[in-house]
Structure 1
Amino acid sequence: MFSSALKSFTSNISANYTISTSPTSVSGAWKVYDGKKKSTGKAVSVFVFDRKSLDPHSGSLGGGRSGGAAVRKLHDEVIARVKKESNLLARLRHPSILELAEPIEDTRSGGLMFATEPVTASLAGLLQEKDDQERAGGVAGRPSRFVIEEADGTRRRRELEIDELEIQKGLLQVAQGLEFLHESAGLVHGNLTPDAIYVNAKSDWKIAGLGFAGPPDISSSQSTMPPISLSEVLYHDPRLPRSIQLDLDYTSPDFTIDGNISSSADMFSLGLLLIALYNSPHTSPLKTNSNLSTYKKLFTSSSTTPSTSNNFLSSRPLPKDLVSAVLPRLITRRPAQRMNAREFQQSQFFDNILMSSIRFLDALPAKTPNEKSQFMRGLPKILDQFPKSLLDKKVLPALLEETKDKELLSLILQNVFKIIKILPSGKRAMTDKILPQLRGTFLAGGGKERDTAKEAGLAVILENMELVGENCDGKEFKTDIMPILQLGLESPTHTTVDKSLGCLPTVMKILDFTTIKNEVFPVVATVFSKTSSLGIKVRGLEAFAVLCGGSPTDDSDAGDGLDGAMIGSKMPRLSSNAVLDKYTVQEKVVPLLKAMKTKEPAVMMAALAVFQQVRKIADTDFLAMEALPILWSFSLGPLLNLQQFQEFMDLIKKISSKIENEQIRKLRDLSSSGTTATSKANDFMSTGSTNGFFNSNGSEDVGEDDFQRLVLGRGNQNSEDMLGDAIRPQAQSGKQPEAPAFSWSSPPLNANHSNQNSMSNVLKPQSRTITPDQSLNAFATLNPTSSTAPRANTNAMTNGFGSFTPMQPMQPMQPTPPMGSGWSNTPAQPIQQSQPTYSMPPPQSQHTFSIMPPHPQPVTPFSAFSLPPPPISPAQRPGVQTQNSGYFGGAASNTAQAPSAMKPPGQKTGLDKYESLI
């Protein structure tokens, strides 16, 4: 029971609406608060009447019980009049009548409350604001009383302007409302003042203040409302506030002098209101001080009566049309000479292109499609002439309401975006009005079938994407504009797709890296890979260049770009944090370019612009292994001209230079840090190297050690260049050359050790294999000769060293057991184990062989040998073939001298020892 009783005292408006704590304006007896419905968020204005305001002197009125009862009765009459105003608003429905949202109801404090459409202020408040600004020296002279609080907590001044066009538009709307009251509702307003007119959020003027309204004296229809009691309303009671009584400054003499109630009285009040709009201060030309006698006295003199002769008592000049044609037919003593509300609307005062456009815009829903189209095409030509506040509050909302017409969508959006360019507060208009309308127009269908009728409107949005991006933040762009952009990319119309791809530079400036990589790039890549249009292919490559950090060139006079001339090659780097990362560029962008099949110049040059950016992002290894082959393939396209080919070559050279410099840098870093490897390389390249890889031209003499290893076959088994290592000079060192060793000689004590060192030097890891200048097949094969059958010299060789004559055997030699390290890697005949093997004595000199003149000797069976074989022993069977030991035919043609001449007697080894034995 208690809860139900408490609920009965709870106001419906207070329970269902959120009301601001302080009033935004005060008009007459009402305080106006901003409100918002809790369930829907719809904005309203809440009018609150406080009963305590009826006693401005805090209860000092009246005396005794009788005085208190009279005041209470007077207050009840005022409350009834106030309720009458709200009730008439509920009954009357017209665009120029203030729209009621919630009916009037009582408050806990005994006051009244009702809700209407959102209003900015009353006309009286606006005129007072203008007066305060003018007295303070301009708009910036004092803070505005009309300040609203934004959703983020910031406060801003309401844009309240009263210029010529605003006045014309407002008076026209008031006249339309009066026409409705007079002709349709059969009512006379009775108190048409600035306090009775409100300006809503769309800058429309609305009529209210109907507390004194009533039927005229002469009416063609029966009215249920009681007539106006002039004796009551004309009496100014000092016990009541002036704001809730009839304002004599705007009252017609029909009421005060003639005592007649007619619709003409409202037209006289309208004339006084019109003068107040241009006057300074913005007040009525009649100054009655709420005294009826003063009012009557003013009309007894022509100097105090507004007329053409005294400029209608205005302190400022009035518009010529008003003075000549309008005011004389409004401010006139005779009601029959006054124009009615309809005639006022057709007066010359409203005859201009801007007012005609406003009137056409108000009647737009009733126009034919052809008339609408013509109007929308001509509207952009005059938008600059409209006041900015009127564009924001009147024209822009009216255009957005017509976006439901798909045939006019593109034309409407063109006008909308032009208005955004004109408005200084374009960002607020974009956020509050345009984006919600675009979202509802293009994204309301969800997953339904695509509406092709909206393609033209979508193209207009894409053309103005930069303007949209400048007037909204990143969050709004991502939630509202990105889905629209994706619709454009998925459009079946190539023109729309082309415009969508052209929006990428704007998108890169607004969105973050994650959104670019995960939402924008996949869609662009899909369009690029699936399109069959050459133009879309080029535009897609330009989009890739932008995504990789480039920015588009100014193509205002570049044509369509299909000739491929100078497309994007001079594209500067786009300074943006949203550039694609290295992985995406290398693993996704470049493979898309590699998969292209067309070789059209336009496509190739657009791809070149992409590689210009890839060069700055990708690794040098990727550039060398992936990018350069693709660039070479593109550069050799059969359709490129010389200039385009040169552009490809310029980029190829830049990339190659980058790779070279990077590799050089890496190697230098390695060489500076790897000291061990460097020292080994230096040892390998030193002159003391055992292998001697330099001076391969044979200009130096062959050492005895090398010569012995060569002829004995004890060199490197794996080396094919038997001359390369043997005949190259050894660097001078402190070591003495080792004594020559032959297969039949007794090995010295350190023979094995030196041989192991020699082999270890050959097999050192730092030694390198050098391609031999000549193969082993170029040397003569040692062929055996019979001991009984003499054979001629069959294989004399010349290899650039001159020819030489056969040598006569100097001393007989005896065979030794065959050695395993003979000519095993030469194409010689197989050697039987029982056959003797002969070796050549070492040369005496390390520099040259001297050619000895041949002595005439008889030809022996061993004339084919350069070294004489040992004599045939009795144990040797005659007729058995022996292997021809041959001679070295490429190094020199001189006859070798006996090594005994070079050896001391005490150190006889090898051949010397053999000679001493025989």
Structure 2
Amino acid sequence: MEVFNKLYSQVSSSVSSTVSQLSGVLPGNPVTREFDASTHIASAGPGLVWKIYKGCKRSTKQEASIFVFEKRQLEKWGKADREMILESLKRGVSQLTKIRHPQVLTVQHPLEESRESLAFATEPVFASLANVLGKTTNMPQPANMSDYKLYDIEIKYGLLQVSEGLAFLHNDVKLLHRNIAPESIIINNQGVWKIFGFDFCVHNTNPANLPPVYPCEGFGPTLPDICRSNLEYLAPECVLNQTNSPASDMFSVGVLAYVLNSTGNQALAPVRDLQQFRARAQQLKNLNAGKLQCIPEAIRDYVKLLLSVAPEARPDAHQFIKIPYFDDVGIKTLTYLDSLLQWDNLQKSQFYKGLPEALPKLPQRVKVQRVLTCLSRDLAQPAMVPFILPSILDIAQDCTKEEYCLYVLPHLKPVMKLMEPIQVSLA
């Protein structure tokens, strides 16, 4: 948590310079009528071209994040490429805005365009996964993310969340993402991993009563980088056979699992051009267990299947989320917390009673970011407070003074005034 706090304090110190940066970018963009943007915190999307600012909605003071694409970034391309890039970015946000799912980034205000920028507002976010892994393009400088290390449970739950999002896209929306990569995954303020970056997505073209068919646009080597999928995460068949299917997105999950667990977050092989892409496809045909030693044993065989050159050998998203690797106390606890809103008070109270036993299995940052946020929702119900309070006090015990004042105390203050039920005063 100290790193989390340090990053936020570093970022907050640059508010005045950020306001002057924004004044040259956002005036004229209709997003500013409803949202105030302040601190530049992160970047995301193809080539990390979207700058992400901390913000809030003027009418409700509700926290938000503002994504801004500055059109001056287009100056290095010719006119035809500029039009293509703008269309690609607009398409991605337009598609994102239509999808509602807990594992897809929530848009609070749709895309708006002005002479200088494109901008839209979303739920509050922390950074893109690419930023956390050390990619600092279009981030505030110095962007010191090197201290931010993902815990094993964050990687495990992150892979589960992305796969759940893909299961929904593939089965319910009948859509391929085609660019699952760290720049297309956003980590929100509560540490939840959300799918973003739908610039290259493909819809099923068959009627509902027939098996889905997904056209493949192929790979244009002459296109600007921002207008094509990240080659390092793209499945071999998308380029070599000009075909794609839900299995193509699952190949990307396999690469992601490898990168997240490898030393220095390096890919299996560098892929910067088509020649390297073909060379990697050959390597994958003879992928031996030694190459996957960095991956936890419980998921190693599944990652090997995801990285198969043959799409039919890869598990689909539904099969992948059911593997034993995701079946542990920490993951179950976080899954239950995410589904609390659907439960009645009796079910919640049963879960809360057992929560103090599960908390030691979770790192402190996860307890503060995820668990505390979920618990605080039910503090407004006095009858639930006796069940929640022991877990909050357990989390508070391991907090630094700064963390306690920032994250715990604001939730406890209203509770301290409660006289009923009597268990609250006793606790």
Question: TM over 0.5, yes or no?
Answer: yes
Aligned pairs (5 A) from 1:225-304: 229-231=216-218, 234-237=219-222, 240=224, 242-289=225-272, 291-301=273-283
Please tell me whether the aligned partners of residues 218 and 262 of structure 1 are also in contact (alpha carbons under 8 angstroms): no
Query: 2:296 aligned with 1:319, yes or no?
Result: yes
- Note the alpha carbon deviations across 1:539-576, whole angstroms, 9 max, x for none: xxxxxxxxxxxxxxxxxxxxxxxxxxxxxxxxxxxxxx
More strand by share: 2
More helix by share: 2
**Residues 50 and 108 (structure 1), Cα distance of their counterparts in 2 relative to 1, 3 Å cut:** same
Please tell me whether the aligned partners of residues 285 and 306 of structure 1 are also in contact (alpha carbons under 8 angstroms): no
Choose between structure 1 and 2 for higher RCO, CA contacts under 8 A separated by at least 6 residues: 2
TM-score, normalisation: structure 2? 0.83
Query: 2:407 aligned with 1:435, yes or no?
Result: no
Please tell me whether the aligned partners of residues 29 and 244 of structure 1 are also in contact (alpha carbons under 8 angstroms): no
Q: Which residue of 1 aligns with 2:178?
A: 190
Q: Which residue of 2 aligns with 1:456?
A: 423
Question: 1 CA distance for matches of 2:173 and 2:370?
Answer: 27
Aligned residue for 2:252, secondary structure, equals helix
- 1:25 corresponds, among 38, 42, 46, to 42
**Residues 205 and 146 (structure 1), Cα distance of their counterparts in 2 relative to 1, 3 Å cut:** farther
Aligned residue for 1:162, secondary structure, equals coil
Q: How big is the shift at 1:309?
A: 2.8
Question: 1 CA distance for matches of 2:329 and 2:315?
Answer: 23
Aligned pairs (5 A) from 1:637-648: none
- 1:398 corresponds, among 369, 374, 383, to 374
Aligned residue for 1:203, secondary structure, equals coil
**Residues 437 and 112 (structure 1), Cα distance of their counterparts in 2 relative to 1, 3 Å cut:** farther
- Note the alpha carbon deviations across 1:83-110, whole angstroms, 9 max, x for none: 111112211111111011111111232x
- Note the alpha carbon deviations across 1:137-170, whole angstroms, 9 max, x for none: xxxxxx96158xxxxxxxxx9x843010010111
Question: 2 CA distance for matches of 1:116 and 1:368?
Answer: 29
Query: 2:334 aligned with 1:358, yes or no?
Result: yes
**Residues 263 and 207 (structure 1), Cα distance of their counterparts in 2 relative to 1, 3 Å cut:** same
Please tell me whether the aligned partners of residues 161 and 194 of structure 2 are also in contact (alpha carbons under 8 angstroms): yes
Q: How big is the shift at 1:371?
A: 3.9
Question: 1 CA distance for matches of 2:209 and 2:170?
Answer: 11
Amino acid at match of 2:281: F
Q: Which residue of 2 aligns with 1:411?
A: 387
Question: 1 CA distance for matches of 2:237 and 2:206?
Answer: 14
Query: 2:198 aligned with 1:210, yes or no?
Result: yes
Please tell me whether the aligned partners of residues 160 and 389 of structure 1 are also in contact (alpha carbons under 8 angstroms): no
Please tell me whether the aligned partners of residues 271 and 277 of structure 2 are also in contact (alpha carbons under 8 angstroms): yes
Q: How big is the shift at 1:407?
A: 3.6
Aligned pairs (5 A) from 1:619-630: none
Q: How big is the shift at 1:174?
A: 0.8
Please tell me whether the aligned partners of residues 25 and 146 of structure 1 are also in contact (alpha carbons under 8 angstroms): no
Question: 2 CA distance for matches of 1:53 and 1:83?
Answer: 15
- Note the alpha carbon deviations across 1:585-604, whole angstroms, 9 max, x for none: xxxxxxxxxxxxxxxxxxxx
Aligned pairs (5 A) from 1:326-725: 326-367=302-343, 369-424=345-400, 427-432=402-407, 434-436=409-411, 438-439=413-414, 452=420, 454-460=421-427
Q: How big is the shift at 1:43?
A: 1.9
**Unaligned segments of structure 1, at least 5 residues:** 1-8, 62-70, 131-142, 148-156, 444-449, 461-918
- 2:150 corresponds, among 162, 180, 183, to 162
Question: 1 CA distance for matches of 2:338 and 2:375?
Answer: 10
Identity among equivalent pairs (%): 24
Q: Which residue of 2 aligns with 1:201?
A: 189
**Residues 129 and 423 (structure 1), Cα distance of their counterparts in 2 relative to 1, 3 Å cut:** farther
Query: 2:124 aligned with 1:174, yes or no?
Result: no
- 1:85 corresponds, among 72, 84, 92, to 92
Q: Which residue of 1 aligns with 2:19?
A: none
Question: 2 CA distance for matches of 1:55 and 1:229?
Answer: 30
- 1:116 corresponds, among 116, 122, 137, to 122
Please tell me whether the aligned partners of residues 276 and 283 of structure 1 are also in contact (alpha carbons under 8 angstroms): yes
Question: 2 CA distance for matches of 1:129 and 1:73?
Answer: 28
Please tell me whether the aligned partners of residues 129 and 145 of structure 1 are also in contact (alpha carbons under 8 angstroms): no
Q: Which residue of 1 aligns with 2:9?
A: none
Q: Which residue of 1 aligns with 2:16?
A: none
**Residues 268 and 113 (structure 1), Cα distance of their counterparts in 2 relative to 1, 3 Å cut:** same
- Note the alpha carbon deviations across 1:500-537, whole angstroms, 9 max, x for none: xxxxxxxxxxxxxxxxxxxxxxxxxxxxxxxxxxxxxx
Aligned residue for 2:59, secondary structure, equals coil
Question: 2 CA distance for matches of 1:101 and 1:343?
Answer: 32
- 1:11 corresponds, among 29, 47, 59, to 29
Aligned residue for 2:175, secondary structure, equals coil
Amino acid at match of 2:426: A
Question: 1 CA distance for matches of 2:115 and 2:265?
Answer: 37
Aligned pair count reads 393
Q: Which residue of 2 aligns with 1:40?
A: 60
Aligned residue for 2:121, secondary structure, equals strand
Please tell me whether the aligned partners of residues 177 and 249 of structure 2 are also in contact (alpha carbons under 8 angstroms): yes
Please tell me whether the aligned partners of residues 384 and 422 of structure 1 are also in contact (alpha carbons under 8 angstroms): no
**Unaligned segments of structure 2, at least 5 residues:** 1-26
**Residues 333 and 360 (structure 1), Cα distance of their counterparts in 2 relative to 1, 3 Å cut:** same
Q: What's the C-alpha RMSD, in Å, of the aligned pairs?
A: 2.9
Aligned pairs (5 A) from 1:750-899: none
**Residues 363 and 346 (structure 1), Cα distance of their counterparts in 2 relative to 1, 3 Å cut:** same
- Note the alpha carbon deviations across 1:872-903, whole angstroms, 9 max, x for none: xxxxxxxxxxxxxxxxxxxxxxxxxxxxxxxx
Question: 2 CA distance for matches of 1:144 and 1:250?
Answer: 28
**Residues 219 and 299 (structure 1), Cα distance of their counterparts in 2 relative to 1, 3 Å cut:** farther
Please tell me whether the aligned partners of residues 67 and 120 of structure 2 are also in contact (alpha carbons under 8 angstroms): yes
Amino acid at match of 2:258: I
Aligned residue for 2:370, secondary structure, equals helix
Please tell me whether the aligned partners of residues 311 and 318 of structure 1 are also in contact (alpha carbons under 8 angstroms): no
Q: Which residue of 2 aligns with 1:895?
A: none
Q: Which has the larger radius of gyration?
A: 1
**Residues 351 and 271 (structure 1), Cα distance of their counterparts in 2 relative to 1, 3 Å cut:** same
Question: 1 CA distance for matches of 2:84 and 2:369?
Answer: 38
TM-score, normalisation: structure 1? 0.40
**Residues 85 and 295 (structure 1), Cα distance of their counterparts in 2 relative to 1, 3 Å cut:** same
**Residues 199 and 306 (structure 1), Cα distance of their counterparts in 2 relative to 1, 3 Å cut:** farther
Q: Which residue of 2 aligns with 1:105?
A: 112
Q: How big is the shift at 1:341?
A: 1.3
Aligned residue for 1:104, secondary structure, equals strand
- Note the alpha carbon deviations across 1:847-871, whole angstroms, 9 max, x for none: xxxxxxxxxxxxxxxxxxxxxxxxx
Question: 1 CA distance for matches of 2:217 and 2:60?
Answer: 44
Please tell me whether the aligned partners of residues 123 and 197 of structure 1 are also in contact (alpha carbons under 8 angstroms): yes
Q: How big is the shift at 1:323?
A: 1.2
Please tell me whether the aligned partners of residues 186 and 221 of structure 1 are also in contact (alpha carbons under 8 angstroms): no
Please tell me whether the aligned partners of residues 380 and 415 of structure 1 are also in contact (alpha carbons under 8 angstroms): yes
Question: 2 CA distance for matches of 1:360 and 1:379?
Answer: 10
- Note the alpha carbon deviations across 1:453-507, whole angstroms, 9 max, x for none: x3322432xxxxxxxxxxxxxxxxxxxxxxxxxxxxxxxxxxxxxxxxxxxxxxx
